[in-house]
């Protein structure tokens, strides 16, 4: 039996490996976990390469354009979201505020790919809650009941699904990517805001 030796240049091997790494980088996720923030840090700040800022918060229940009072405060605390066993890790407590997460910053972390999916954990300390996706705002007494309030599960062209402790957003077919996202409430605690491209 004859064996053939295949001659391949080191440059070709490197190019192949780099190409595989680049294509897999676009499928990666990027999460904001607040681990890089000291307890007591207040928005606005940049954490895990994502800029967080305030938008006006409205505590009135309804489906409308974002408007309302100037935000009060959002502070990093050293206790996790109580969704299951309690944890001792940083999370963000939002107090009568609407906090925007810069989707362009997430996109950069996803290899300059647009955000197709977003997931986070939350705990409502005091209703009401507000969420904004691609400019469409909804305020309700909880996140799970939002589809009943708006008559469907699409906000800002993006598929919306909430459970007792988690929110999942997903690009809907040929609909828009997740270009804008903000979340807030009277008092809510959030963590692990993870995006995928």
The first and second tokens of residue 23, run together, are: 């294509």
CB 177 within 8 A of CB 114: yes
Model confidence at 73, pLDDT cuts 50, 70, 90, reads confident
pLDDT at position 69 is: 73
Per-residue pLDDT of 141-159, as tens digits, reads: 999 999 999 999 999 999 9
Q: 10 Å Cβ neighbour count for 156?
A: 20
Environment class of 152 (CB within 10 Å of its CB; exposed 0-12, middle 13-18, buried 19+): exposed
Tens digits of per-residue pLDDT, 82-138?
666 666 688 999 999 999 999 999 999 999 999 999 999 999 999 999 999 999 999
Overall pTM > 0.75? yes
Confidence of residue 65 (pLDDT cuts 50, 70, 90): low
- C-alpha span between 82 and 122 (Å, rounded): 8
- Please tell me the total number of residues recorded for the chain in this structure: 197
pLDDT for the residue numbered 84? 61
Q: What whole-number distance in Å separates Cα of residue 53 and Cα of residue 70? A: 12
pLDDT digits (tens, 9 = 90+) for 181-197: 999 999 999 999 999 99
CA-based angle 171:176:182, to the nearest 5?
80
């Amino acid at each position: 039996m004859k064996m053939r030796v295949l001659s391949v240049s080191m440059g070709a091997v490197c190019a192949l490996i780099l190409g595989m790494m680049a294509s897999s980088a676009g499928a990666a996720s990027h999460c904001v976990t607040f681990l890089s923030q000291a307890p007591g840090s207040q928005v606005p700040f940049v954490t895990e390469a994502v800029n967080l800022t305030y938008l006006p918060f409205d505590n009135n229940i309804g489906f409308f354009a974002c408007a309302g009072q100037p935000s009060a405060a959002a502070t990093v605390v050293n206790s996790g979201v109580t969704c299951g066993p309690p944890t001792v890790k940083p999370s963000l407590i939002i107090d009568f505020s609407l906090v925007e997460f810069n989707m362009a910053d997430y996109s950069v972390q996803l290899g300059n790919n647009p955000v197709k999916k977003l997931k986070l954990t939350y705990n409502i300390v005091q209703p009401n809650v507000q969420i904004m996706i691609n400019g469409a705002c909804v305020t309700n007494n909880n996140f799970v009941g939002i589809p009943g309030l708006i008559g469907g599960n699409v906000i800002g062209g993006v598929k919306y699904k909430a459970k007792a402790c988690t929110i999942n957003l997903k690009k809907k077919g040929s609909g828009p990517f997740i270009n804008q996202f903000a979340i807030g409430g009277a008092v809510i605690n959030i963590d692990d805001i993870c995006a995928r491209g």
